[in-house]
Amino acid sequence: MEEKMFTPGGMERLQATSDRENIPYPRGDGKVKLVNSEWLDRHLTDTNLTVIDVQPNIHDYIQEHVPGAVYLTEGVLRVSNRGFPGSYSPNACIQESFRRAGITADSPVVVYTGKGAFSGAGDGLGQTMMAYTLAKYGHNAVYILDGGIDAWKSEGRELSQDYPPVEPSDFTVEVRDDYPIGYEEFVRIKDNDDVVVLDARPAKVYEGKGPWRKAGHIPGAVNLPWKSLMHEANPARLKSNDELDMILEEHGVDRSKTVICSCGTGREATNEFVLLKWLYLYPNVRIYEGSFTEWVTYPDNPVVEGSDPRGARVETASAR
């Protein structure tokens, strides 16, 4: 009976279930970990801790934020490059942004977002986007607040309207090039038997309802909507490990394979990259930052509409 229960990676994920009770989670020296509101409240006055507010609108931060938090919009992370709309900002820009926020590479930084109290906006992705970018550009101790500011508020914890005094840091960008996968390498390996490509977009977009010049998804990409991994009432809070384990099993996300996380512009994919690489400790995880937006800039690249990764159901229906 036990042999049937554990598909490849099942034992490791069950271990993660118990480890998640130990905050910061997971144990070890990974660049990104998960913390809860209770932990942050206890450590809020630590002199080496920086808290970064990534709420969707500056007015959300002005209205309310975790005491001592510095506002850093995720909008500084990407700019247009030769017309392509989703490129990361130049290293110097990212470096200066992190310096102004007082971030140092080896001191813990907690990132959070939420449903903006002023704007009403916010999808929960700001904190994984910021966490991934911090780690990619050289930070070594990034903490994500599970549930974001909405979890903090729901527990009746203190909020502030004060702006903390911040001394600029000497943060120096050191890019970790092994996290992203570029277009040419992606094309070369995406169809290999030992590779799983995930598409984190909503099912209707994956199937063909998106804004791109071509509808659908990259052939072979398996749809794993990022929101399916999060609590319905709070998209900044991960579901339980038991639920996550079941979802990953159902989608064939095998830890023995190379997993490539993709989406529309590379933002939604950060949610699944963070989960698999740092929280579930999958050994081979990459993120295709260009994602579907880059894929369809090449006119000859095929796309698939519908729910099947390779369009087999569509082709069968046509043959009939």
Which active-site residues does the annotation give? Answer: 263
Q: What is the DSSP letter of 229?
A: G
Q: Which residues contact 7 (CB under 8 A, 6 or more apart)?
A: 249, 254
Cα 138 to Cα 99: distance, rounded to the nearest angstrom: 12
Backbone angles phi, psi at 304, to 5 degrees: -125, 130
Q: Which residues contact 156 (CB under 8 A, 6 or more apart)?
A: none
Structure tokens at 179: 């996290």
Q: Which residues contact 19 (CB under 8 A, 6 or more apart)?
A: 25, 26, 27
Q: How far is CA 151 from its chain centroid?
A: 18
Across the chain, where does the E strand assignment appear?
A: 32-35, 50-53, 70-71, 78-81, 84-88, 109-112, 142-145, 195-199, 222-223, 258-262, 285-287
Other CB atoms closer than 10 Å to residue 100's CB: what's the count?
Answer: 15
Dihedral in degrees, nearest 10, Cα atoms 260, 264, 266, 271:
-70
